[in-house]
Structure 1
């Protein structure tokens, strides 16, 4: 009798209402779990980007102006962008090729073997090894008084600086950037290599195809989007790097991040306080285009290898 009364009680919620209530509560808890992530993105990405975008269109009197963007056509700023793009492209290509070869060597090893786990762990650490620590490591190794430089000079009679002090210029930045580009390529390209199924090679061989035909007609077309996407990611990584170049290059501002530093810290450039924000906005545009192309390639890769 009590059960019948509970079912007929108009104040009791219907089963469908209770289910919707539980789903709403679960959805609210899920959204609450991502609040720290959105807060992090807002504080360290969205708000700084907004400040840069607004400052790029503001003069020293905080009035709207296009003078800062017009100044981006100045020769020294254009040269800095060109050098940054060349540096990023060169290190991205070197890191992509060498990193892809290393990743392929790992794929041929045992999936749970000690070698693969050790190299993958080392790549994860070295990909984040940069800034002042990395610059000091290269200065202590191949700097003017580095132990490798001194050893070659005293024991082999070879002077690696006979043609100039290249370590503190663009060639040196290329070498140092490539150091952390290669392990980053291993991390981002290894999943694509793992997605290549052995059955595809067996099918090619069963149809009379050679190893060259397998790579040319099957593996390379499937891996090309992932390889290009990873190369673009490496480009964006090098293009936005600052700490390593700031620690290594003490004179001059050959690339855009160092030019931005000069506009902020220099006491010579007066009346151009927001010029650095305009250059930063230009960097944001370049990185946004690169990452958009990366997302398109990753979407195509996931469709083939997912």
Structure 2
């Protein structure tokens, strides 16, 4: 007689997983190999992020060794001085102005790129140029603007010689808030294109077609569909531009020869001044203030990015 078929329950019951020492050992080896892949990144974070942050925090609450060392709040109290408050206000105003201008102009440029062919030559050229120009700063950028529209720049001289126009008639604005905003906007616009373009690519053409099929106009589509979807990404990108400008140092240091209108230059003065000695920990307190501001901005950026990924994912 033929053998009877196994019961249905036996066919539906999965085979138990192997718990042998060999299987567990292989799993452990796999986990170890996976962890080894993130060791370089972990080392980078520890050396260039965690350790410097700890040095800043400890130094901000530490007294000068010449004063006996120990813990103190004098460095934190120094943040309330008029000079430091003015530097923070100037830095925030500069960062906000350059971020807002860069966000608006960069978003328009990103939209123009998004409407081009995905693999077209125009898109490749623009994105490649933006990747380079977003990192174009420091002494090179300051010299470029000074040689172009500085006191003796070729545009300044040309306008004065041929049109009798003095662009500095109202003052040396290039080294003040308007001039620094203009210079910072130069690298804010390409950065906005890089960070905002993926959000524009996430807008599906079917949504536009659905709005048009229901009789919606272009303005209604952007006001009721496209705008609300892109708003978190736009605001998040603007916050990223704010943090980028707030922490910038080299461009302003090369452009501004006298005074310390922004916080990074205040930190430089505290660390390198030959007039006021023993201000190193005050500089670390200033750096701690910058860390707090940037941490708040990046926390808001993370929230907006999470909302963006939920809508456009």
The question of 1:28 aligning with 2:35 is answered no
- Which residue in the other structure is 1:118 paired with? 125
Distance between the aligned counterparts of 2:186 and 2:252, measured in 1? 13
| SS at 2:270 equivalent | helix
Segment drifting more, 41-50 vs 151-160: 151-160
- Which residue in the other structure is 2:103 paired with? 96
- Which residue in the other structure is 2:10 paired with? none
Query: Match for 2:45 among 41, 52, 77?
Result: 41
Count of equivalent residues: 293
Q: Does structure 1 retain, via aligned residues, the 8 Å contact 2:271–2:279?
A: no
Distance between the aligned counterparts of 2:225 and 2:106, measured in 1? 21
RMSD of equivalent CA atoms: 1.2
- Which residue in the other structure is 1:148 paired with? 155
Q: Post-superposition shift, 1:305?
A: 0.2
The question of 1:234 aligning with 2:238 is answered no
- Which residue in the other structure is 2:268 paired with? 261
Using the size of structure 2 for normalisation, the TM-score is 0.91
- Which residue in the other structure is 2:61 paired with? 57
Distance between the aligned counterparts of 1:149 and 1:33, measured in 2? 54
- Which residue in the other structure is 1:4 paired with? none
Distance between the aligned counterparts of 1:128 and 1:272, measured in 2? 31
The question of 1:72 aligning with 2:79 is answered yes
- Which residue in the other structure is 1:189 paired with? 196
Q: Post-superposition shift, 1:22?
A: 2.5
For structure 1, the 5+ residue unaligned runs are 1-13
Q: Post-superposition shift, 1:15?
A: 7.2
The question of 1:304 aligning with 2:287 is answered no
Q: Post-superposition shift, 1:270?
A: 3.1
Q: Post-superposition shift, 1:52?
A: 0.4
Q: Post-superposition shift, 1:167?
A: 1.3
| SS at 2:280 equivalent | coil
Q: Post-superposition shift, 1:16?
A: 4.3
Using the size of structure 1 for normalisation, the TM-score is 0.93
Deviations 1:91-112 (A, max 9, x none): 0000000000000000111111
Distance between the aligned counterparts of 1:105 and 1:21, measured in 2? 54
- Which residue in the other structure is 2:220 paired with? 213
Segment drifting more, 270-279 vs 241-250: 270-279
